[in-house]
Structure 1
């Protein structure tokens, strides 16, 4: 899968921050002591000279530099993660979604999936106009995600076809498209019999509210009149009978009948009838 070029520092910053700390320590030990030990075990004169210089502290500045860079990348990773968490916890409804910049919108969608246990890669490929914005990995399955912050424009079937083509090309398992403006009927029909999940604004609101921290900053309150109708459903959402993840209220595209679907779809396809909770 084609990706943008990343420097070594960017790659470490994309990892969980504790990994960056460990890499810094490992890099320091490997350079400060490992090189000298490796060449010291050889019988050659050149190897012995390198070992003597290494043991004399010649490589110490490089070792400290590597550890410092890794720890700086770990700090960047920690700050980015905290910013994503604050961004998601600050969402109070559809209006706050609308106020978010398209890049912030991508980050909060990624954070919502991350809290569901997905490993989330922010590809940087999509930009404001589309493409693969996120890659989700969980249980050996890969899902490609495109995020659309369009508020007044519905996603048409062309966009869904393109993402389906990318799924086939990259041999991914599923596709997810999150769009505030919703989807045309043609797009919904095309996705209905394929591993494509279409998440409109109410479904996204339910997803975000289900993963927000209890009592977190700006957590969605269903009782307030300007909230989506999806929020009360999310508050009382049952657990999936298969994987125990929080379920989301969905509607059958053919009949319009409401049912509970697993929020981990398409990795899990568990469902419940709404009447089962009455």
Structure 2
């Protein structure tokens, strides 16, 4: 699939949206400071008098800096916002998967994002490419300096054949990449599995993908529960979790305090 031509500003926006959100903010600050300082500097009078071309060039650069000090930061900030939105969307995409049916219902692009999010949660840096739905390497993942190329096949009907595995192996050899992965929402042919057995290429079927995504989702729930447990306040009397309450009478009326969740059986309290 040929990539649609776009202007340099659109390219900057697209590139920034694929970077971590804080990178876009940093680029916005740096570009504003640098261009603002240049825009308020004086054009050399000597160049204007003695070198007409240099004078025109300096004036053009100052004009670019004057407008660029506002335009470039806006583009970088817009890309930063898109990056944050896309990150959240990809997280939700993985979290809402409940089985092979939901995976097959998403688009090919979402399928690539789903696979990328799986690797991201496993500690990989994920680089998505623009190969399109019909070929090429879709994702490059890196962890501890080791690089993998990942090919995603969102095929609902036919099985992934040996030609796809051979194609990926060729890419690995051409770019000197040690490991590769082919992920599909369906299955692989026997020939494809047989060909990959002696190669550093992992084949992940739809059923396997459901399993590993489910394990990632469960781990997230465990981590969330651990965080909540670490933040919980426990009763000094019975060691049950405590809940925040508001005093309804007495000298402390209206003030918050920790009360035992086992009340009235236990009347333990702590200061809030």
TM-score past 0.5 threshold: yes
The residue that corresponds to 2:158 in the other structure is 153
Rounded to whole Å, the distance in 2 between the matches of 1:58 and 1:192 is 57
The residue that corresponds to 2:97 in the other structure is 91
The residue that corresponds to 1:65 in the other structure is 71
Task: Work out which of the residue numbers 133, 146, 157 in structure 2 matches 1:141.
Answer: 146
Residues 12-56 of structure 1 deviation map (CA, whole Å, 9 limit, x = unaligned): 11111110011000000010015656x89x9965599969x96xx
Rounded to whole Å, the distance in 2 between the matches of 1:118 and 1:4 is 29
Q: Is 1:168 aligned to 2:173, yes or no? A: yes
Asked if 2 retains the 8 angstrom alpha-carbon contact of 1:4 and 1:123, the reply is: no
Q: How far is 1:142 from its partner? A: 1.8
Task: Work out which of the residue numbers 8, 14, 17 in structure 1 matches 2:12.
Answer: 8
Which range moved further: 189-198 or 130-139?
A: 130-139
Task: Work out which of the residue numbers 27, 32, 47 in structure 2 matches 1:28.
Answer: 32
Instruction: Decide whether aligned partners of structure 1 residues 157 and 25 sit closer, same or farther in structure 2, where only a CA change above 3 A counts.
Output: same
The residue that corresponds to 1:106 in the other structure is 112
The residue that corresponds to 2:194 in the other structure is 189
- Count of residue pairs the alignment pairs up: 209
TM-score w.r.t. length of structure 2: 0.68
Asked if 2 retains the 8 angstrom alpha-carbon contact of 1:4 and 1:125, the reply is: no
**Structure 1 unmatched ranges of 5 or more:** 217-278
Asked if 2 retains the 8 angstrom alpha-carbon contact of 1:120 and 1:136, the reply is: yes
Rounded to whole Å, the distance in 2 between the matches of 1:58 and 1:131 is 38
Rounded to whole Å, the distance in 2 between the matches of 1:142 and 1:43 is 54
Rounded to whole Å, the distance in 2 between the matches of 1:151 and 1:132 is 20
Q: How far is 1:180 from its partner? A: 2.1
Between structures 1 and 2, the one with greater helix share: 2
Q: How far is 1:61 from its partner? A: 3.6
Rounded to whole Å, the distance in 1 between the matches of 2:72 and 2:177 is 35
Asked if 2 retains the 8 angstrom alpha-carbon contact of 1:130 and 1:147, the reply is: no
Rounded to whole Å, the distance in 2 between the matches of 1:43 and 1:205 is 69
SS at match of 1:132: coil
Instruction: Decide whether aligned partners of structure 1 residues 158 and 185 sit closer, same or farther in structure 2, where only a CA change above 3 A counts.
Output: same
Task: Work out which of the residue numbers 108, 116, 125 in structure 2 matches 1:119.
Answer: 125
Residues 94-141 of structure 1 deviation map (CA, whole Å, 9 limit, x = unaligned): 1111111111111111111111121112112041x3321111122222
* Bigger-Rg structure (1/2): 2
SS at match of 1:214: helix
**Structure 2 unmatched ranges of 5 or more:** 49-53, 224-272
Instruction: Decide whether aligned partners of structure 1 residues 101 and 58 sit closer, same or farther in structure 2, where only a CA change above 3 A counts.
Output: closer
The residue that corresponds to 2:229 in the other structure is none
Instruction: Decide whether aligned partners of structure 1 residues 82 and 211 sit closer, same or farther in structure 2, where only a CA change above 3 A counts.
Output: same
